[in-house]
């Protein structure tokens, strides 16, 4: 089994465990006896208000209906594990369709340019060129050690970039998607609904990373084929072709790391920025979610509450002082009169 399939297999096992734990946590919260009782009473209360026309303001009725709809969706998702899995598959269907479409497009240009073949060809070609150069190294030819090490580093950099933005990005996208029962709840309040839309934008951007990596797969495959020719015809002491390979692999790796910037220009990803460091958006996906949630921390609410309380207190105090002053002036005017 190749390194690409092994990576996918390891990540799929971890993803299954994460999804199972999230499902168990969701059912423990939303299928609890207290929650079911509160949900049933809310439905009965809404029916009572509608039946006896107790709802005087339409907005309050809409809010109550919206709350019941959101919780009904969450309970439907978590009703059975099969429902949860099926719901995730439905949401993830557009991303899978896009990846399959781009795979067919790239395969139409080059049938061997899939990410799995590209990864395996790169590893094989890199190993052959490295062994060829290393076999020529000696104490009188120390530069061969340097070229072999440089080639190995550049090749490893390209392989890490491919795996990071294909297999690992897909794993992160599915992990973020598995949070959907907990994220939908934030649609209930206007102050928290932006969390849902940030989560959705993060999921879409992570889903597009593998698709964009597939488009660069044909270039990486050409690099692997070029390395095969270099390995079979490498002249003693001639390392110009090795330098060219290192430059091409570095450029391909940098191009892959610029994918988040491209996605950001298209849809506005959660990984803002235009520098190379923002290309590590996949690694900061979890930090983006935590950063979003932290904006609604207890500290912020406490600060806002304290500010509002202080403003109300000052307003009341000012009104009382003004009223007392007016009464005193009125009494003085009455005496003088």
Mean pLDDT (whole number) for 31-56: 77
- In terms of pLDDT, which residue wins out, 55 or 280? 55
Nearby residues of 216 by Cβ (< 8 Å), 6 or more positions away: 252, 255, 256
Per-residue model confidence as pLDDT tens digits over 233-255: 665 545 777 888 889 889 999 99
141: helix, strand or coil: strand
Give the start-to-end residue ranges of the domains of the chain.
89-296, 298-337
Q: Which of 17-31, 64-78, 133-147 has the lowest mean pLDDT?
A: 133-147
| pLDDT over 50 at 281, yes or no | no
Taking residue 226's Cβ as centre, other Cβ atoms within 10 Å add up to 16
For residue 60, pLDDT beyond 80: no
Three-state DSSP state, 138: strand
Identify any residues that bridge with 141 across adjacent strands, giving them in sequence order.
Answer: 138
Q: What percent of the chain is modeled with pLDDT above 70?
A: 74
Structure token digits, residue 144: 């061969």
Stronger pLDDT, 285 or 166, i.e. the higher one: 166
Q: Do the Cβ atoms of 198 and 296 come closer than 8 Å? A: no
**Tens of pLDDT, residues 97-155:** 888 888 788 777 777 777 888 888 888 888 888 787 777 777 777 777 888 888 889 98
| Average of per-residue pLDDT across 328-337 | 50
pLDDT in tens, 189-247: 888 889 999 999 889 889 889 888 888 887 888 888 878 777 666 655 457 778 888 89
Q: Which residue has the higher pLDDT, 238 or 5?
A: 5
Q: What are phi and psi of 201, to 5 degrees?
A: -65, -35
Q: Please, what is the average pLDDT of the chain? A: 76
pLDDT at 267 over 70: yes
Count of alpha carbons within 13 angstroms of residue 156, beta-carbon side:
7
pLDDT band at 55 (very low <50, low <70, confident <90, very high): low
Question: Please, is 29 exposed, middle or buried when counting C-beta atoms within 10 Å of its C-beta (0-12, 13-18, 19+)?
Answer: middle
CA distance 207 to 178: 13
pLDDT of residue 94: 86
173 burial (CB, 10 Å; 0-12 / 13-18 / 19+) is buried
| DSSP tag of 184 | G
Contacts (Cβ under 8 Å, ≥6 apart) of 187: 70, 193, 196
Question: In which band, very low, low, confident or very high, does the pLDDT at 174 lie, cut at 50, 70 and 90?
Answer: very high
Least confident of 96-100, 249-253, 262-266, 281-285: 281-285
Dihedral, 87, 88, 94, 97 alpha carbons, nearest 10? -110
Place of tokens 């009464």: 327
Helix or strand holding residue 111 (H, E)? none
Residues contacting 6, CB < 8 A, separation 6+:
none
> Any residues with CB less than 8 A from the CB of 320 and at least 6 apart, and which?
none
Using alpha carbons only, give the angle 62, 63, 69 rounded to the nearest 5 degrees.
Answer: 85
- Distance (Å, whole) CA 165 – CA 269: 15
């Amino acid at each position: 089994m190749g390194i690409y399939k092994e990576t996918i297999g390891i990540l799929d096992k971890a993803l299954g465990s994460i999804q199972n734990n999230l499902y168990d946590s969701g059912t423990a919260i939303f299928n609890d006896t207290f929650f079911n009782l509160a949900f049933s009473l809310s439905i009965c209360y809404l029916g009572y208000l509608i039946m006896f026309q107790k709802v005087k303001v339409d907005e309050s009725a809409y809010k109550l209906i919206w709350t019941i709809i959101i919780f009904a969706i969450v309970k439907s998702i978590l009703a059975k594990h099969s429902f949860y899995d099926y719901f995730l598959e439905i949401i993830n269907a557009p991303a899978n369709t896009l990846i399959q479409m781009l795979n067919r497009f790239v395969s139409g240009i080059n049938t061997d340019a899939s990410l799995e073949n590209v990864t395996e060809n790169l590893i094989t070609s890199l190993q052959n060129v490295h062994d060829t150069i290393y076999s020529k190294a000696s104490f009188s030819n120390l530069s061969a050690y340097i070229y072999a090490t440089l080639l190995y580093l550049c090749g490893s950099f390209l392989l890490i970039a491919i795996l990071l933005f294909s297999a690992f990005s897909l794993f992160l996208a599915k992990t973020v998607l598995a949070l959907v029962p907990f994220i939908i709840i934030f649609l209930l309040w206007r102050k928290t609904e932006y969390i849902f839309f940030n989560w959705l934008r993060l999921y879409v951007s992570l889903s597009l990373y593998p698709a964009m990596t597939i488009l660069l797969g044909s270039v990486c495959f050409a690099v692997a084929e070029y390395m095969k020719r270099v390995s079979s015809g490498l002249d003693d002491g001639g390392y110009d072709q090795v330098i060219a390979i290192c430059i091409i692999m570095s450029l391909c790796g940098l191009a892959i790391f610029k994918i988040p910037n491209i996605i950001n220009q298209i849809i506005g990803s959660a990984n803002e920025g235009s520098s190379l460091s923002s290309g590590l958006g996949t690694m900061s996906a979890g930090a983006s979610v935590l950063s979003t949630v932290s904006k609604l921390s207890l500290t912020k609410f406490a600060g806002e509450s304290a500010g509002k309380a202080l403003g109300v207190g000052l307003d009341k105090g000012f009104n009382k002082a003004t009223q007392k002053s007016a009464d005193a002036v009125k009494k003085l005017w009455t005496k003088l009169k």
